[in-house]
Structure 1
């Protein structure tokens, strides 16, 4: 079971890193005007609008992989036994000690001394 969780976790990590890289590479809608003035966007590897289409589809696929791996990790995390391995569960409960209240003081014992 630990091997499956490790594989899913590594898939999630790699898809997250790839998504971050693809999102940073993409141009916003306002960058199209800059490409008209010679920034070289129309002469790219994928053509004038091909890179935006390819990058957005790849980002959507990576987002789906990330989402599915997150759901799988949550599912396998809930299948484990009731002990979660928490530090707080390892500490034994302190014994409960009941104290008997003292009898109320009478007369002269209630007068403060100077």
Structure 2
């Protein structure tokens, strides 16, 4: 795995981990839009757990590439769902945020966890 791929994996893990932490602590800048988009509060904890698992998976992926690949794919799919959610809520300007959180994981995946 190249140094730059490791850097992107770790930056992605930090970003997604922060996003998970923000859900767990019910930070207004995260849960406010979730409520606005109509995401049921009953699944917010699950969303935080999914993000946390993705963040841990990216870190583990530095040492076990297959885990990193799975985590990066999971993060990409998770945040693709978030983009769709913003579009369905007609909050088009907010779509940039999930893209921004997914980008480092996607870059790490494209640079190759196995190289």
TM-score normalised over the length of structure 1? 0.37
Q: TM-score, normalised by structure 2?
A: 0.37
- Larger Cα-atom Rg: 1
Q: Greater helix percent: which structure?
A: 2
